[in-house]
């Protein structure tokens, strides 16, 4: 794993393959670039692949910041600039998809393509949120309760990952555990559920999603691929229908039956879908 200085801290990343247009893989909560370990080999034969650890996550630095969406976006900006990345294809899962769309909307001249799976395409209401997750996420957004669940009990790593990734090997879970050994290290994990714009709050994150929604709707020249799973969690059937209506230049491809963390469950399917997208849209 390599690392580079960004905004007075450091960001770790993995790199494989070679090619003129880099493919950047962005993870979400509570994972790291390790999420893509079995996806990238399906793509790196024909492309330069890079996958950073978001600031405060994985092997990246832990600066004294709030770890809000805007903080992650700022450090990602610094990482892209430090590596001089342009003409990129972005691949994002969970919050990594939102960060990818946000970056694309703010740097449209540097984006050649976009692939997202199980991410936040737009602000949501509590009524739209996956019913099975509503109770947990309301608790995590409750002062005191969220701190106990995420900081003290390490809920995302110890409960959510094993539950949503059946058969996840203990050795793989240990890699995720190692990044968050104590409550202080888990602060970024707690911030993420409090950043989801539900019924308009927090308003600044909702505004960023609306802004990247405008870019999605008005950039037909940038090919976009929405990968779906059945049943979708963040992108259920209604979300796919919304995407078909509101996203320009969109392709939709099903990865079949899977849970939220499809890069862990079916990395081969996901990697082959990305590789196929790249072949279809070679300049």
pLDDT digits (tens, 9 = 90+) for 67-81: 999 999 999 999 999
Asked if 281 is an active-site residue, the reply is no
First to last CA, the chain: 30
Q: What pLDDT does 130 receive?
A: 86
Considering the domain boundaries, does residue 145 fall inside one? no
- Out of 53, 94, 195, 265, the active site residue is 94
Residue 245 resides in a domain? yes
Q: Which of 102, 118, 195, 265 is catalytic?
A: 118
pLDDT (average), residues 13-23 = 91
Tokens 């995590």, located at residue: 140
Whether residue 7 lies inside any domain: the answer is: yes
Residue 187: inside a domain: no
226-247 burial string, b = 16+ CB within 10 Å, else e? bbbbeebbbbbeebbeebeeeb
Are 174 and 217 spatial neighbours (Cβ–Cβ below 8 Å)? no
Question: Which pLDDT score, from 0 to 100, does residue 166 have?
Answer: 86
Active site residue 118: yes
The verdict on residue 68 lying in a domain is yes
pTM over 0.85: yes
* Domain range for 41: 2-125+201-280
Cα 166-233-125 angle, rounded to 5 deg: 145
pLDDT score of 111 more than 80: yes
pLDDT band at 230 (very low <50, low <70, confident <90, very high): very high
Q: Which two tokens stand for residue 84?
A: 């001089």
Give me the pLDDT at residue 179, please.
Answer: 96
Name the maximum alpha-carbon separation found in the chain.
52
Number of domains in the chain: 1
Three-class HEC string of 21-64: CCEEEECCCCCCHHHHCCCHHHCCCCCCEEEECCCCCCCCCCCC
- Supply the DSSP symbol for 234: S
Stretch 142-155: mean pLDDT: 97
For residue 224, the surrounding DSSP H or E stretch is strand 224-230
Q: At what angle do helices 131-140 and 187-195 cross, to 10 degrees?
A: 120
96, 99, 112: which is closest to 26 by C-alpha? 96
- Ramachandran sector of residue 154 (left: φ over 0; alpha: ψ -120 to 50; beta: rest): left
- Does a structural domain hold residue 15? yes
Check whether 205 has a pLDDT greater than 80.
yes
Residue 120 has pLDDT above 80, yes or no: yes
Q: Is 133 inside a domain boundary? A: no
Q: Is residue 81 part of a domain?
A: yes
- The domain spanning residue 236 has which CATH number? 3.40.50.1820
* Averaged pLDDT score across all residues of the chain: 96
Q: Which of 27, 72, 93, 260 is catalytic?
A: 260
81 as an active site residue: the answer is no
């Amino acid at each position: 794993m390599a690392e580079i200085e960004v905004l007075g801290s450091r960001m770790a990343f993995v790199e494989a393959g070679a090619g003129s247009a880099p493919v950047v893989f962005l993870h979400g909560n509570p994972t790291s670039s390790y999420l893509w370990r079995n996806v990238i080999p399906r793509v790196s034969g024909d492309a330069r692949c890079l996958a950073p650890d978001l600031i405060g996550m994985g092997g990246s630095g832990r600066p004294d910041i709030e770890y809000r969406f805007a903080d992650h976006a700022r450090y990602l900006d610094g990482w892209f600039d430090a590596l001089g990345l342009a003409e990129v294809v972005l691949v994002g899962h969970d919050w990594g998809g939102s960060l990818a769309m946000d970056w694309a909307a703010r740097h449209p001249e540097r984006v050649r393509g976009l692939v997202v799976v199980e991410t936040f395409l737009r602000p949501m209401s509590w009524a739209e949120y996956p019913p099975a997750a509503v109770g947990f996420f309301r608790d995590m957004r409750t002062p005191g309760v969220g701190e106990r669940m995420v900081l003290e009990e390490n809920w995302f790593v110890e409960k959510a990952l094993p539950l949503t990734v059946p058969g996840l090997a203990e050795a793989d879970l240990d890699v995720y555990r190692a990044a968050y050994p104590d409550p202080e290290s888990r602060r970024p994990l707690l911030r993420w559920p409090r950043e989801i714009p539900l019924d308009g709050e927090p308003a600044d994150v909702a505004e960023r999603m609306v802004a990247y929604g405008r870019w999605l709707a008005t950039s037909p020249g940038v090919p976009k691929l929405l990968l779906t799973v059945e049943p979708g969690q963040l992108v259920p059937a209604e979300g796919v229908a919304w995407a078909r209506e509101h996203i320009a230049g969109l392709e939709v491809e099903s990865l079949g039956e899977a849970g939220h963390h499809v890069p862990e469950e079916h990395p081969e399917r996901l990697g082959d879908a990305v590789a196929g997208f790249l072949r279809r849209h070679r300049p």
